[in-house]
Amino acid sequence: MVRLSILSGLASGLCALANPLVKRASLQQITNSGISNPTNVGFYMYVPDKLASSPGIIVAIHYCTGTAQAYYSGSPYATLAEQYGFIVIYPSSPHSGTCWDVSSKATLTHNGGGDSNAIANMVTWTMSKYKADSSKVFVTGSSSGAMMTNVMAATYPDIFKAGIAYSGVPAGCFVSSSGGVDAWNSTCAQGNSVATPQAWANVVTNMYAGYTGARPKMQIYHGTADATLYPNNYNETIKEWCGVFGYDYTNPTSTEKNTPLTNYYRYSFGPQLQGIYAVGVGHTVPIQGTEDMKFFGFSGSSSSSSSITPATSTLLTKVATSAASTPTASTGGSTGGTVAHWGQCGGAGWTGSTTCVAGYTCTKANDYYSQCL
C-alpha cells in the first residue's frame, strides 16, 4: 500500500519517550470480553499493580505500521499508569499496514459498526469491569492514531472527557467518497482539505446526530515540518474544534512560547481547546507524557506563567468560501497584502500573498507549504 512507504519509520518519531518509572504489570490481550467487535480490532490492556479504587482510563492508539504492543513499549502511558493508577487500553488495528479506518461511514458514525465502535465497546466493558471513574476517560494517539483520536472524540463525546492528538488530521478529513474502509486520502494528507469552522463543526456533529451533551476538551499537537500529514492539518483541526466549541480560531486567548519545549508554542482558544505547534518538528511530534497527565487532570495544571496575549493569528489565512458540510480541496485564493507570523506564504497551488510581515521570512517546509517564520 502507498501508506506503508509514506508512513514507514513512524516509530522513530516516538524515540524520545523514555520514562524513569518501571512497568510492573504486563500487557494483556483480552480475548473473552464478549463485546461487539465488528472489525476485529485487537483488544490489549495494561492494568497497573497499584490500581486506583475508581481508576481512570486512557485509550492509547498506535500509528500506521504500529501495533498495540509497539505503542505499549514506545509510549509512556503504562509507566505513568503505575504512578497514577489508571488503566491503559491499547487497541490494535486489524487492517493491512495497521493504519486505522478513519474514512468509512461506519467508523465515522456513532455506533456505526466500524473501528471506532469496537474501541468504544472496549472502553465501556473496561469501565464496567473495573468500576472506572467515568469522569476520567481519555483518548490519545499518534499519526493514524491521532486521526482516530479526533474521530473517537467526535463519535463518542458521551464517553471521552478529553483527547490529545499527536500529528493527525481533522475528524472526517479522510472520508472516502467511495465509502472505502481504511482508505488513504492524499488531498487531506497534503493539507488541501480546507473548510470553514462551521463546516468542520457540521462534520463532527453529523457523526453523532442528535447529540446535545458535553464534548471532550481537545489538545492538538503538530510539527511545522511534517511532510506526511502536512502542517495545514493542524490549522484545519483547530478550526474544526473551534467551530464545535464556538471559539474564534483567528483570536487565541493566550500564547505560551517555548512550552512545553523550546520552539513549541501553545495556543489556548478557550477552556476546551489548546493547540501546540512544534517549530521544526516533523512527523510525528514526540509524546509529552508529563504534559498529557496535566491535561487529563492526573497531575497539576497545563497552564504556564509564560502566557502572553498573541499579536497575530496562529492559523493560515486561507479559508474555504464554501459552507458545505464536507470539506473540499482548496484552490488557494488571494489574501492580499502581507502574511502574518505563522501564516502560509507559498507552496504548490498557493495563490495568496507571499510577502511576510516585517521581521519574518517566508520559509519552505515542503513543496506544498511555506510559512512566515
State how far the Cα of 246 lies from the Cα of 130, in Å rounded to an integer. 35
- Told to judge if 143 belongs to the known catalytic residues of this protein, a careful annotator would answer yes
Q: Which of 104, 98, 204 is nearest to 153 (CA)?
A: 204
Confirm if 275 and 314 have CB atoms less than 8 A apart.
yes
Question: Exactly one of 143, 167, 193, 302 is catalytic; which is it?
Answer: 143
Confirm if 72 and 44 have CB atoms less than 8 A apart.
yes
Please state, as a whole number, how many other Cβ atoms lie within 10 Å of the Cβ of residue 228: 22
Which positions ≥6 away from 186 have C-beta within 8 Å?
none
Class of residue 212 by CB neighbours under 10 A (exposed 0-12, middle 13-18, buried 19+) = exposed
Strand 87-92 versus strand 57-61 pairing type: parallel
State how far the Cα of 181 lies from the Cα of 45, in Å rounded to an integer. 25
Grouping H, G, I as helix, E, B as strand and the rest as coil, residue 263 is coil
Confirm if 138 and 294 have CB atoms less than 8 A apart.
no
Confirm if 174 and 295 have CB atoms less than 8 A apart.
no
Rg (CA), the chain: 19
State how far the Cα of 12 lies from the Cα of 283, in Å rounded to an integer. 9
Question: 240-255 in b/e burial notation, b at 16+ Cβ within 10 A?
Answer: bbbbbbebebbebebb
Strand partners, 162: 138, 217
State how far the Cα of 356 lies from the Cα of 94, in Å rounded to an integer. 46
User: What are φ and ψ of residue 80, in 5° steps?
Assistant: -70, -30
Confirm if 199 and 320 have CB atoms less than 8 A apart.
yes
Confirm if 342 and 310 have CB atoms less than 8 A apart.
no
Copy the grid coordinates of residue 303: 497552564
What are the catalytic residues? 143
